[in-house]
């Protein structure tokens, strides 16, 4: 994991243990694997629990979409100053194969960053490295309101 002591803000404070993980990240079993804020890339892992399964035993698509959103967003947020945040305006997910409960890995990247609008993309893979889903997102950089 690459972090610099100069970096600050809620995302970095959470990574350093100064702030708790957001409830949604905790629910998804979010874990940072690797990050390169200079390149705008991130790799994270999720623990897809049995409680995420649909009646046929595979992870329900809404949870996969949430995992992808929680992969792509941090790829950008890690590059922002402490007073900025980037909520997702649109998230397009393509489900490619069923995912079973267990560890899933998300890889995200900033495709293009503008002054306000940014484009992100990423993927989710299963323990065998097979692609489960891909996503693209549009976000808007905003100032955090206290």
| 121 bridge partner residues | 109, 136
Report the pLDDT averaged over residues 18-43: 96
Q: Which domain, by its residues, includes 48? A: 10-143
Q: Is residue 51 part of a domain?
A: yes
Q: Is residue 92 part of a domain?
A: yes
Q: What does DSSP assign to residue 18?
A: S
Q: How many domains does the chain have?
A: 1
Q: Is residue 127 part of a domain?
A: yes
Whether the Cβ atoms of residue 21 and residue 15 lie closer than 8 Å to each other: no
Whether the Cβ atoms of residue 46 and residue 103 lie closer than 8 Å to each other: yes
| CATH code at position 135 | 3.10.129.10
Whether the Cβ atoms of residue 107 and residue 133 lie closer than 8 Å to each other: no
Q: Is residue 56 part of a domain?
A: yes
Q: Is residue 43 part of a domain?
A: yes
pLDDT, tens digit (0-9, with 9 covering 90-100), for 93-102: 999 999 999 9
pLDDT class for 40, splitting at 50, 70, 90? very high
pLDDT class for 144, splitting at 50, 70, 90? confident
Query: CA 112 → CA 47, 102, 138, distances in Å?
Result: 29, 32, 10
Enter the pTM of the model: 0.92
Q: Is residue 1 part of a domain?
A: no
Q: Is residue 112 part of a domain?
A: yes
Q: Is residue 2 part of a domain?
A: no
């Amino acid at each position: 994991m690459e972090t610099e002591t100069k970096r600050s803000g809620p995302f970095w404070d959470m990574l350093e243990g100064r702030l708790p993980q957001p409830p949604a990240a905790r629910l998804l079993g979010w874990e940072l694997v690797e990050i390169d804020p200079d390149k705008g890339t991130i790799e994270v892992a999720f623990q897809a629990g049995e409680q995420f399964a649909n009646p046929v035993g595979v992870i329900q698509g809404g949870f996969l979409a949430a995992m992808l959103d929680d992969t792509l967003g941090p790829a950008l947020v890690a590059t922002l100053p402490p007073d900025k945040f980037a909520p997702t305006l649109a998230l397009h997910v393509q489900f490619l194969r069923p995912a079973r409960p267990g560890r899933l890995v998300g890889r995200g990247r900033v495709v293009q960053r503008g002054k306000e609008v940014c484009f992100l993309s990423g993927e989710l893979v299963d323990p065998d490295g097979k692609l489960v889903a891909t996503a693209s997102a549009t976000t808007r950089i905003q100032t955090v309101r206290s």
